[in-house]
Amino acid sequence: MNSSRTRTALTVLDQPTDVAACASAPLAGGLDVDAATALAQTLKALADPARLRLLSLVAGSSTGEACVCDLTGPLGLSQPTVSHHCKVLVDAGFLTREKRGVWAYYAVIPGALHTLADVLGSAAVPADGRAASTARA
């Protein structure tokens, strides 16, 4: 390895002195504070590998629902831990919970993931429909 280093001068680019020169278009749309807070809570519920697996297991069930007792094995987690993760997904609006005897059965709420995709899509695409990378061109 060569221990000698050559120094290269960095070129300083001209910086605009006018604030208006910085932005080519005013920012509009996007999420307001309340919507961003709610979306962050929703995404936080999904930001766990066990919860994502739970959601996919329940969604992929042939009956459209799954008993908590059937979810512990595939996840390798205890029943109380699985129940906690399911509760988080219920509170976030992804699953429903139905108590049958001593067991709880969970089902995916129809359209919950589509609603999330719609919110993310509407926040990411400007009103003119152009992608963010081309909107400044």
- Structural domain spans, the chain: 46-117
- Residue 136 binned pLDDT confidence (cut-offs 50, 70, 90): very low
Q: For residue 16, what are its two tokens?
A: 């605009």
Read off the pLDDT of each residue in 122-130 and give the average, rounded to a whole number: 57
CATH of domain 46-117: 1.10.10.10
The C-alpha atoms of residue 117 and residue 91 are separated, in whole angstroms, by 18
- Residue 111 binned pLDDT confidence (cut-offs 50, 70, 90): confident
pTM of whole model > 0.85?
no
Q: For residue 128, what are its two tokens?
A: 């003119």
Residue 134's Cβ-side half-sphere holds a number of Cα atoms within 13 Å equal to: 6
- Residue 124 binned pLDDT confidence (cut-offs 50, 70, 90): low
- Hunting for tokens 């519920």 — which residue is that? 45
